[in-house]
Structure 1
Amino acid sequence: MTYENIIFETEGKIALVTINRPQSLNALNAKTISELSAVLDEISTDSNIRVAIITGSGEKSFVAGADIKEFSDFGKEAAEQLARNGQNILFDKIENLNKPVIAAVNGFALGGGLELAMSCHIRYASDNARLGLPEVTLGLIPGYGGTQRLPKLVGKGLANELIFSAKMIPAQRAKEIGLVNEVFSQEDLVSKAKELAATIANNSPMAISKAIEAVNLSETERGFETEIKSFGELFEMDDKKEGVTAFMEKRKPVF
């Protein structure tokens, strides 16, 4: 499939998705959201791909937010549909994808950009990254999951501070509060994300898929039961047989 606003590349078992609207600091418009949703479907069904990385083009911005001019004149119903549709086709889809998604945050990650990063399973950031949810300065609140995912990552108090103040924080502060996993130079960011992706890609894809599901339910009543059932189900799958056999034979497993 050909995309207009994203670049989709594969390197072995790793997919690299680059949001490519540098003239708009990679802001998320409807077309970009639709294309990201479509590429996630490709990644999900391609058995050769084990891990995905999402980043932005250029050195200034991961995603500077949603494209405000697209919805500036919306009414209540249209705005609700915008938020619901974005959650359904992109943000929730990333979080619940059957393969890990790493955000390589290379610069500004504001509003919808930070919400995109937070929907990913792991976040690496460049040392020039700036992260924030500025929606209240527009008389709005985050609409793509920001009020739900941020408290889970950094705690309710810090989430309130960031959302209410609309302030941007630097990458190092984001690491300190658990919003990003690691911080690297701009030059090393994507290569470090690829290193992690390669490590993940060597592990059991079925086990990782089950782990994603269980972790996503960790704050619900279904979390423990999902873990228990998944643990049992994996015992009847080929990946478990290969992993245990390799361990007993003192060799690396081949999944």
Structure 2
Amino acid sequence: MMKNYKMILAYDGGRYNGWQKQGNTDNTIQEKLEGIVSALAGCPIEVFGSGRTDAGTHAYGQVANFHMEWDGSEERLMDAINEKLPEDIGVLSLEEVPPRFHSRLSAKAKTYEYTIWNSKRPPVFERKYVFWCEKPLNVEKMQEAAKLFLGEHDFKSFCANKRMKKSTVRKIYEIHFHCTEDKITISYYGNGFLYQMIRILTGTLIEVGEGKRQPDEIPAIFAALDREKAGFTAPAKGLALKEVFYGERQEEYDTNY
């Protein structure tokens, strides 16, 4: 009997060309998973992800689903997949879900984190997972600017796909900053994100923190609907998909926002 399985995955995206399978390479997360699941099923299986993470982007909680016939337990299937995966990709949980569940189409909201190493000291042990910014950043100014990203806006100026034909309107519910001695981690919680949107938002915030921009410039960037008006695209290695939401938390925001 064909069953629908939902997986939560973690991966270090440093050596992969992103999530999405591509015609010119098999070095993607999706390709690795499909190869393993198809071998277990004895037929081609398509694995659907909650979204496309860029080349070099990491994930703590990517969600994927696939349909296959499997007579064993969920735990045995998870173990069988993990046994074949490389050490930088792992299935954290696996469960059977209703047939209509789709990891991308059913998703209500997502949280991403971007981590900046803000110190003159090099991030020797964390260099693969942070963006090193040596110049001291004014976090208060960054937070002031970040508040202007909240709510529903047309984020076309913060989208790297200049030929985007679909709507570029998205809603951001929360942006939080967590600061330690050397690190600034920015958490973005919203109902969806455009191609490289978080990396461009972060690049813009970094320019505010460096004094290259002022928070009150943000409304004009939105109004321009022009990618060239926003900040630089922060490197992929500092970005991680933290969690994907399918239930009540996002619905509560939609009702009360």
TM-score tier by shorter-chain length is: under 0.3
TM-score by length of 1: 0.24
Q: Per chain length, whose mean CA-contact separation is higher, i.e. which structure has more relative contact order (CA < 8 Å, sep 6+)?
A: 2
TM-score by length of 2: 0.24
Between structures 1 and 2, the one with greater strand share: 2
Between structures 1 and 2, the one with greater helix share: 1
